[in-house]
Chains A and B, each alone.
Chain A
Amino acid sequence: MTETIAPIEALKDKGPDKPPRSRWKDVWDQFTKHKGAMFGLGFLIFITLAVLIGPLLWSVEPQKIDIRNKNMRPIYTAIWDADAKVGWEKPLGSDQLGRDQLAQILSGGRASMAVGWAAMVLSLLIGTAIGVAAGYYKKLDGLLMRTTDLFLALPVLPLLLLAVTLFRQPLTTAFGPEGGMFILIVSIISVTSWMPTARIVRGDVLAIKEREFVLAARSIGTLPGKIIGRHLLPNVLSPILVSAALGLATAIITESALSFLGVGFPSDFPTWGKMLADAVVRMEEYPERVLLPGIAISLTVLSVNYLGDGLRDALDPRIRGR
């Protein structure tokens, strides 16, 4: 007679009652704890949607000259100044040619964000490619790192100014005034800003390439291209993401700085920096024309910086879980 012994409590569970935690879920949980980063992400999504969808909703032509309604103040000016020239048809006022400020801010933001994203992506591609090549192939390491040091020694802002003034003419004739300027600014910003990414990626690749799983992959005959794509790149993704956020912020600021100094986009193709620069001369009478694009630039860059900060914390396994 054998009686079945009831198993003790601890042995009764059927299996895990929760699905296993994935790495990206951990990262997301840590990320949501960072208030600044959540604000940054929210604002970045908001501004991106605003400049993408905004022109469809507020369908005023940004370059339409409406000289009768020139120099209008933003609608909120009416709160403290009853005599101000305001009107609902121009919620953020108009400039000295009567061009609608809201429409200009939206389309200017579109240009600034497009330049920022394109320059950031391009500089990440260059930086990652050079970093991986230098870290993985020993023969290329010396040459590529000396090149990186050389680029780091270049005076960036003077060179940017130089390149823009020199190549503006040929490129604008080849691709049109806006297209040529876009290509020029994106390429020179990315050519002068890939170095930090390359250095970080190289350092990480050097460390990861000596780990056992890469050795295992190589021992079963995986080709170098596959090792880089499947084993190295996913593991250096976090520093790349962080430098992406910082790169976006720098690209937006650099583009605005160039426009401010008068070497950026032409005046009939406003970006935030260009609007700010054009408004500085009338700053005393119409401070909002400086403030609105300035605040737009600053808030966007601030949110991207906070996003980068939060990403760095969330992707760092030493900080995560604390």
Chain B
Amino acid sequence: MLTYAIRRLLLSIPTLLFISFVIFMLLQLAPGDPMAQVPLTVPPEVKQKMREALGVGEPALVQYWKWLVQVFWIEPQVAIDAMFGTSFSEGKQRVISWQTRSPVMDIVIQRIPQTLWVVGVAYVVGILIALPIGIYSAYRQYSVFDQAGTFVTMIGFSIPPFFTGPLLIVVFSVWLGWFPSIYDTTHVVNDWASLKEQLQQMIMPVMVLALQITAMLSRYMRASMLDNLGQDYVRTARAKGLSESVVVLVHVLRNSMIPVVTVIALGIPSIFGGAIITENVFKVNGIGQLLLTWLFANDLPGVMTLTFIFAVLIVMFNLIADILYGLLDPRIRYD
């Protein structure tokens, strides 16, 4: 198991390098010019100097190498400095956003809490709703509850977040006036009243995201429970005279959770991607919204680094899912 994990970990390095190379080369083709906003009165040789100062003057491969060094060598040093108060990174060039002229990672770190609050809570809520629905629908297959559950999950699959979002805003903030339509990221939680306000503004984005997560997970849970409910060991457990709740919630559930746990792990990075739309609808200034802003502002270092972070998340959670699967299911042997 350990050798497998190490092998996968080593394999993920070339994968990530390749992905970052592809993204970088895509960005090289970008038609936008970082100097487009500079006034026409600025002479061309000054413009050339400015371009070199941004790091655009050099050949693409050199730029790529410098980006790699900045992300994999200098940024970890900055992180260590921030944690232990050392000064490894002093005077070294970090990845600088063209739009704000400040380090990209600093901006990303400012934005991550907002995304985590909304996306993380939505994921937990989604799991908490999905699992009981999946378990009960499988236990009472083809019952009214199961039919209704299947219908609701189908709807959750089919209604895109850019429709549910505006719909919720119209109903709950315009007509009923219960929740604010815009997520206020400057809101500070320091007492019960402000916590209540924070929860109120979180409800709608969380519900939009949780609907999709619930739809996906409850179907997996139901299918996995159905696979296990027909197994022989279930009959044995019933024949021993175990109570129905023990049979379903201990014997069957534990075995059915194995694939579901890996699906949960696999879904985490895609939720970050899907949150781009939800963040945009509710004006949450998380990393999804940041990506859009940078993309429209033609901020190549920012877009590059952020897309790479998404890729790292996907590769990392794929790895976690595979390892979890091996750990949870003793029948799976990788080596």
Q: Do the two chains bind?
A: yes
Enumerate chain A interface residues (CB-CB to B < 8 A). Answer: 36, 149-150, 152-159, 161-163, 165-167, 169-170, 249, 253, 256-257, 260-261, 273, 276-277, 280, 283-284, 287, 290-291, 294, 297-299, 301-302, 305-306, 309
Also in contact, A305 and B23, with CB within 8 A (given A158-B291, A161-B291, A256-B160): no
Contact of B26 among A163, A256, A276 (CB under 8 A): A163
| Complex: A298 Cα to B269 Cα, angstroms | 24
Name which residue of chain B comes closest to A249, CB basis: B158
Cross-interface CB contact of B170 among A150, A166, A283, cutoff 8 Å: A283
Specify which chain B residues have a CB less than 8 angstroms from the CB of A298 in the assembled complex: 155, 158-160, 163
**Would you call A166 and B31 a contact (CB within 8 A)?**
yes
- Which residues of B, 157-198, contact A by the 8 Å Cβ criterion? 157-160, 162-163, 166-167, 169-170, 174
**Across the two chains, which residue of chain B brings its CB closest to A252?**
B160
Are A294 and B167 interface neighbours, CB within 8 A? yes
Contact (Cβ within 8 A) B295 A161:
yes
Query: Which residues of A have CB within 8 Å of B160?
Result: 253, 256-257, 260, 297-298, 301
A273 to B120, CA, bound (A): 27
A277 touches B162 (CB 8 A): yes
> Contacts A161-B292, A298-B158, A298-B159: A290 and B166 contacting too (C-beta < 8 A)?
yes
Across the two chains, which residue of chain A brings its CB closest to B306?
A158
Residue of A nearest to B30 (CB): A166
Minimum-distance CB pairs A-B, first 7:
A155-B310, A302-B158, A294-B163, A301-B158, A260-B162, A157-B273, A298-B159
Complex CA distance for A290 and B163, rounded to whole angstroms: 8
Specify which chain A residues have a CB less than 8 angstroms from the CB of B155 in the assembled complex.
298, 302
Contact with A along B268-311 (1 / 0, CB 8 A): 01000110110010000000000110011000000100110011
Known: A162-B295, A169-B31, A257-B160. 6 other contacts (CB 8 A): A166-B26, A261-B292, A297-B163, A298-B160, A305-B157, A306-B154
Q: Are A153 and B311 in contact (CB under 8 A)?
A: yes
Q: A165-B295, A260-B162, A290-B166 are in contact. Are A153 and B318 (CB under 8 A)?
A: yes
Q: B136-168 toward A: CB 8 Å interface, digit per residue (1/0)? A: 000000000000000000110111101100110
A257 to B167, Cβ gap below 8 A?
no
By beta carbon, the residue of chain B nearest A299 is B158
Task: Please classify the interface of chain B as helix (H, G, I), strand (E, B), loop, or mixed, using the class held by over half of its residues.
Answer: helix
Binding site for A on B (CB under 8 A): 15, 18-19, 22-23, 26-27, 29-31, 154-155, 157-160, 162-163, 166-167, 169-170, 174, 269, 273-274, 276-277, 280, 291-292, 295-296, 303, 306-307, 310-311, 313-315, 318
Shortest CB distance A313–B (Å): 12
User: In the assembly, what is the distance between CA of A118 and CA of B310, in Å?
Assistant: 28
Using CB atoms, name the residue of chain B closest to A36.
B154
Q: Which residues of A contact B31 (CB under 8 A)?
A: 166, 169-170
Interface pair B273/A290, CB less than 8 Å apart: no
Chain B residue contacts of A260, Cβ below 8 A? 160, 162, 277
User: Shortest Cβ distance from B207 into chain A, in angstroms?
Assistant: 16
A287 pairs with B26, CB closer than 8 A: no
Question: Complex: how many Å from CA A297 to CA B310?
Answer: 28
Residues on B with beta carbons closer than 8 Å to the beta carbon of A253: 160
Q: Contacts of A158 on B, CB cut-off 8 Å?
A: 273, 276, 291, 306-307, 310
B contact residues around A256 at 8 Å (CB): 160, 162
Q: How far is the CB of A243 from chain B (nearest CB, A)?
A: 15
Would B311 and A155 count as touching, CB distance under 8 A?
Answer: yes
By a CB distance below 8 angstroms, the chain B residues around A161 are 276, 291-292, 295
Give, as a whole number of angstroms, the nearest-CB distance from B231 to chain A.
16
Partner of B23, one of A162, A169, A261: A162
- Residues of chain B within 8 A (CB-CB) of A153 are 15, 19, 311, 314-315, 318
Contacts of A287 in B (CB 8 A): 170
* A102 → B minimal CB distance (Å): 20
Which of B23, B159, B163 is the most central at the interface, judged by chain A CB atoms within 10 Å of its CB? B163
- Could you tell me the distance in whole angstroms from the C-beta of A247 to the nearest C-beta in chain B? 14
Residues of B within 8 A of A291 (CB): 167
Query: B291: which A residues are within 8 A, CB to CB?
Result: 158, 161
The contact sample of 20 A-B pairs, CB cut-off 8 A, is A36-B154, A153-B315, A154-B22, A155-B307, A155-B313, A157-B273, A157-B274, A157-B276, A161-B276, A162-B307, A257-B160, A257-B277, A260-B160, A260-B277, A290-B166, A294-B163, A297-B160, A298-B155, A301-B157, A301-B160
With a CB–CB cut-off of 8 A, which chain A residues contact B310?
Answer: 155, 158
Cβ of A156: which chain B residues have Cβ within 8 Å of it? 273
Q: Which residues of A contact B157 (CB under 8 A)?
A: 249, 301-302, 305
Q: Are A150 and B15 in contact (CB under 8 A)?
A: yes
Chain A residues, Cβ within 8 Å of B18: 150
A262 to B310, CA, bound (A): 21
Return chain A residues, CB-CB under 8 Å to B29: 166-167
Most chain A CB inside 10 Å of its own CB: which residue of B18, B292, B313: B292
Q: Report the nearest A residue to B291, measured CB to CB.
A: A158
Q: Which residues of B contact A167 (CB under 8 A)?
A: 29
* Pair B19/A150 contact, Cβ less than 8 Å: yes
| Structural contact, A283 and B158, CB atoms closer than 8 A | no
